[in-house]
Structure formats: C-alpha cells, structure tokens
C-alpha cells in the first residue's frame, strides 16, 4: 500500500499535463451534463431547448477539435493519461469528421415524423448521442486494451438505447433486441480475445515494446486466435462480412435518424480505432505471426461482393441502403490495407463524403415517409414527377454514393483506387490486385440497385397516388438541397476538404 502511495503524485501530475490534449472530450462531458439537465428542467415544455444546446455545444466541440490540428503535425503524437490514449493528426481528423456528422444527425432528428411523435420526447436521445460521441472520441484515441474495450462498450450501450428508443412497433422492438443480443455476444468474444492478448504479452499497452516482443514468443496459432477474436468485436462495429448479419434488420427497424447515426459515426470511429490497433503489428520489423493485410483483404473482397449483390434484391429503401453500407465498408477496407499515409488520407476523404451522402439519402427516406408514407420502391412510383426537387436531390446523392463522375463520391473512390494501385506498384500483392478488380466490378454492380430508385421515381407510373400527409417538411427539404449541393461542389472542387489530408 505504501509503495502505491508514492506513485500518486506522479499520476496526478500526468493527469494534469494530459488535460490540455483532452479539451474536446472534456467539452463533450460538460455538454452531456448540460443537455441532460436542460431536458430534465425544461422537459416537453421547451422541446427544442435540448436540441439547441446540443447543436451549439457540438459546434464548440468541433472548434476545439479544429484547434488541435496545428498542435499535432504529421508524424507527431502525444500519449495522455499514462499511455491510455494517444493523440495524433489522424485521430484529430477523424474527430472532426465525426463531430460534423453528429451535428447533422442532431439537426435531422426532429424532422422524422415518427420519432418526433414519440411520447417520451427527444431530450433523452440528444443526451445519449452526446455521450456516444464522447465514446467515439475515446475509440479514436484508445491505445490500451482496457481503454479500447471501455470505449467500444460506451458507444455500444448508447447505440442499444438509440435503436430501442422508439419501441412502439414490433419491428423496432425486434431490431433493438437483436442488436443488443448480437452486440453482447460480439463484446464477450472481443473481451476474451483481449484477455488472451494480455495473458500472452503481460501488458495492456499495445504500443509498449514488450507487447509485440512477448507475443512473438507465443505460439502463432494461439496469438492468431486471440487477434481474430478481437477483430470480431471490431468487425461488429464496422459491419464487415461475416459480422454484418444484424445490419439489415436493425437499420430497417430503427428510427431513420438512428439508422443515419449507426451507418456512419460508429463505423468511422471503428476504422480509426482499427488503425491504432494495427499500427504496432504492421510497422514492427519482427512481427510475422499474423498477416493482417491478408485477413483484411479477404474480408474486404467478400464484403464488397456480399454487400453489393445482396442490395440488388432489396425492395425496402432502408434495407437497400443497409446492404449498400456494407459494400462501402468493403471499399473503406481497400484504403486501410494499404497501410500508407496516402491510403489513410484517401480513407478520410472517402468516409467523409460517403457519410454525408448516406445521411442525405436517409433524410430523403424520412421526407417521403413524412410526405406520402413511402417505405418501398413500389411506393416511389411516379413520385419524382409530383415532387421534382427532392427527387432530383435523391438522384444527385445516389450518383455520389455510386461514385459516378462529377460527384464527391467519384473523387473519394478515385483516391482509394489510386492509393491501392500505388502500393501495388511498389510491392505487388495478389490480394491488393484482387481488391482493385473487385472494387471496380462492384462499383458497376452498385449501379444496378442505385439506378432502381430514379427508375421508380421518374419512369414508373402509378395510377393510385398516396395522399399528402400534413407534415411540415420545409426545413428538411432545404437541408437535403444543401447536402446535394455540397456533394456536387466537392465533386468539382475536392480541395474543399483539404484539411482532412495528412
């Protein structure tokens, strides 16, 4: 006990020195308490107060994260809180993307008719999202096996609450239950893998010299098993094959703004966390027990094929976008397996434009549900002629998701292909070539299901039009137009996102 007491001053000094590097996360913690209290005090009498406070607070957090960019130049990093977290330029750029997307989701939430009409109100949902963003920040900085697990669980619990938030229908209740059960199993598997790695290495710090050195002396089969178990937990967040089975049902059953959150923010944070986790293995000259490039390349190829082909047969719009999201995960893995600065820069750009386009597509799902109660492709017949402006915006957003020229998505896919091809030229690898071929082929396949939506909107006729529902959708439509314009402008002027380059 006396020996531990002597370490307390040093630990406290390290905590105080770490605080300046932890400002955005401190801001999120304070914001969570403020939003929680605002909803507790105001309640339904001032329904918009929690939302206003959340958006303003997130803008402040985004500004503090932006101020960290000059503090961490390329190649520099700072360990904080006794090596539990690591701040570097990549993690800061990921945080900027996540904070901006969180603001979009917070703005979007009350524009969904079903969610707005919920008897519980929306105040609790805003506070849950703020808490989840804090967890996402921690995921991006975690470099200790304990902090990795705690950050993942923090985000998972918030996600469970969001999926089950609107439990007034059987579909939503089943989605929430399925997500919790599968998530708990994935979490338990990941924790078992972490315990094995700790037992093999004798340390929780993945950047410690002893971590890799001790793992080298363990049976490669045992270490590979532990790493695969950890990858199962990370794969659940990324929804790559075979950890994708929960995605279609949960995305369809959850409230549409929650689907927008699940399909973007945790996925981006998961990729950022995976970069941190892989770094000690990939850049160690003595590590040869497990080939991460081979594993992720195989997973990427299968994910690209399964996600894009399964999407072709979907008739529900949210399920179609769910399988599309799985396909985009495979494409993101293409950039990740380059293990290069160019690849990570391409990944950042790609994730940013994909996430904005995906949120825009789901906003349009809400718009048509609000307007005419449309959930399936059949209910979209002839709608484009009745509502030309949102339908044209839908086409622009789908063009970006498909990666066609003069769109932000095209530039994102071009950057990813360029990064993979550049690495392949310097060190030819059959799996990199397989990723390039599969990525090109599935991009063509994706056109078959993306083009179905404009086909039903403009070319299919419907003699039995659904009546307009009396819903105020003006601001939602304005925001959709802004997103569409942004995707077009970023396609023409990709330098608009230059701050994401490493």
333-385 pLDDT tens trace? 999 999 888 999 999 999 999 999 999 999 999 999 888 888 888 888 888 88
Instruction: Judge whether residue 12 has pLDDT over 80.
Output: no
- Distance CA(133)–CA(51), nearest Å, equals 15
| The pLDDT of residue 472 | 56
Range ranked top by mean pLDDT from 173-177, 326-330, 368-372: 326-330
Q: Check residue 73 and report its DSSP letter.
A: -
pLDDT per position as a tens digit, 93-102 = 999 999 999 9
Average pLDDT of span 177-196: 92
User: Model confidence at 241, in pLDDT bands (50, 70, 90)?
Assistant: confident
Q: Domain ranges for the chain, please list them.
A: 291-502
Mean pLDDT over each residue of the chain, to the nearest integer: 88
Buried b (16+ CB within 10 A) or exposed e, 266-285: bbbbbbbbbbbbbbbbeeee
Q: How far is CA 63 from CA 69, 124, 131, 177, 339, in A?
A: 10, 24, 18, 37, 29
End-to-end CA distance of the chain: 46
What is the SS3 assignment for 264? Answer: coil
pLDDT of residue 499: 63
Residue 302 pLDDT exceeds 90: yes
Looking at residue 463, what is its pLDDT?
Answer: 61
Looking at residue 4, what is its pLDDT? 61
pLDDT tens-digit readout, 36-69? 888 888 766 666 888 899 999 999 999 999 999 8
DSSP 188-253: HHHHHHHHHHHHHHS-SBTTSHHHHHHHHTS-HHHHHHHHHHHHHHHHHHHT-TTTTTTHHHHHHH
Residues 421-440: what's their mean pLDDT? 91
With bands split at pLDDT 50, 70 and 90, how would you rate the model's confidence at 469? low
The pLDDT value recorded for residue 45 is 61
**At 260, is the pLDDT very low, low, confident or very high (cuts 50, 70, 90)?**
very high
Does residue 188 contact residue 231 with C-beta atoms inside 8 Å? no
Residue 240 pLDDT greater than 80, yes or no: yes
pLDDT at 91: 92
Which region among 192-206, 237-251, 258-272 has the lowest average model confidence (pLDDT)? 237-251
**Tokens standing for 84?**
């539990």
Mean pLDDT, residues 282-289 taken together: 81
Q: What is the pTM of this model?
A: 0.94
Range ranked top by mean pLDDT from 168-182, 248-262, 453-467: 248-262
Q: What is the pLDDT of residue 82?
A: 86
C-alpha distances (whole Å) from 188 to each of 193, 236, 278 are: 9, 12, 21
pLDDT band at 411 (very low <50, low <70, confident <90, very high): very high
Task: Check pLDDT > 90 for residue 394.
Answer: yes
Band (pLDDT 50/70/90 cuts) for residue 465 is low
Rounded to 5°, angle at Cα 463 from 460 and 464: 115
pLDDT of residue 286: 81
Give the position of tokens 């997130």: 58
Mean pLDDT of all residues in 106-117: 86
């Amino acid at each position: 006990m006396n020996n531990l007491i002597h370490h307390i001053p040093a630990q406290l000094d390290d905590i105080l020195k770490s605080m300046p590097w932890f400002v955005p996360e401190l801001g999120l913690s304070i914001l969570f308490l403020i939003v929680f209290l605002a909803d507790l005090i105001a309640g339904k009498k001032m329904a918009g107060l929690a939302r206003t406070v959340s958006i303003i607070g997130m803008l402040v957090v985004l500004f503090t994260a932006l101020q960290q960019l000059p503090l961490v130049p390329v190649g520099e990093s700072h360990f904080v809180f006794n090596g539990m977290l690591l701040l570097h330029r990549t993690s800061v750029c990921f945080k900027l993307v996540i904070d901006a997307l969180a603001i979009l989701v917070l703005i979007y939430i009350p524009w969904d008719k079903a969610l707005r009409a919920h008897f519980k109100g929306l105040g609790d949902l805003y506070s849950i999202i703020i808490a989840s963003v804090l967890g996402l920040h921690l995921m991006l900085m975690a470099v200790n096996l304990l902090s990795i697990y705690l950050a993942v669980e923090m985000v998972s619990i918030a996600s469970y609450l969001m999926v089950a938030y609107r439990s007034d229908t059987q579909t939503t209740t089943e989605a929430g239950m399925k997500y919790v059960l599968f998530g708990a199993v994935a979490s338990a598997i990941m924790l078992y893998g972490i315990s094995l790695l700790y037992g093999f290495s004798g340390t929780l710090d993945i950047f410690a010299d002893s971590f890799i050195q001790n793992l080298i002396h363990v049976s490669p089969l045992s270490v590979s098993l532990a790493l695969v178990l950890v990858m199962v937990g990370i794969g659940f967040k990324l929804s790559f094959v075979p950890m994708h089975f929960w995605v279609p049902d949960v995305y369809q059953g959850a409230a549409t703004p929650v689907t927008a959150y699940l399909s973007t923010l945790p996925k981006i944070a998961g990729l950022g966390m995976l970069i941190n986790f892989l770094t000690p293995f990939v850049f160690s000259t003595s590590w040869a027990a497990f080939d991460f490039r081979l594993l992720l390349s195989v997973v990427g190829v299968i994910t690209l094929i399964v996600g894009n082909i399964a999407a072709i047969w979907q008739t529900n719009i949210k399920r179609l976008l769910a399988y599309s999201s799985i396909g985009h995960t495979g494409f993101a893995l293409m950039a990740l397996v380059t293990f290069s600065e160019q690849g990570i820069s391409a990944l950042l750009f790609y994730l940013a434009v994909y996430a904005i386009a995906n949120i825009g597509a789901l906003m349009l799902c809400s718009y048509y549900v609000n307007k005419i109660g449309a959930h399936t492709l059949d209910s979209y017949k002839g709608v484009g002629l009745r509502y030309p402006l949102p339908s044209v915006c839908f086409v622009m957003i789908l063009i970006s998701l498909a990666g066609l020229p003069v769109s932000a998505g095209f530039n994102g896919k071009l950057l990813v292909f360029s990064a993979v091809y550049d690495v392949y030229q310097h060190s030819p690898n059959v799996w990199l070539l397989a990723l390039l071929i599969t990525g090109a082929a599935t991009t063509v396949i994706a056109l078959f299901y993306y083009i179905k939506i404009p086909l039903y909107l403009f070319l299919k006729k419907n003699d039995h039009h659904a009546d307009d529902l009396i819903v105020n959708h003006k601001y939602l439509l304005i925001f959709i137009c802004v997103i569409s314009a942004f995707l077009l402008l970023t396609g023409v002027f990709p330098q608009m996102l230059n701050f994401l380059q490493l």
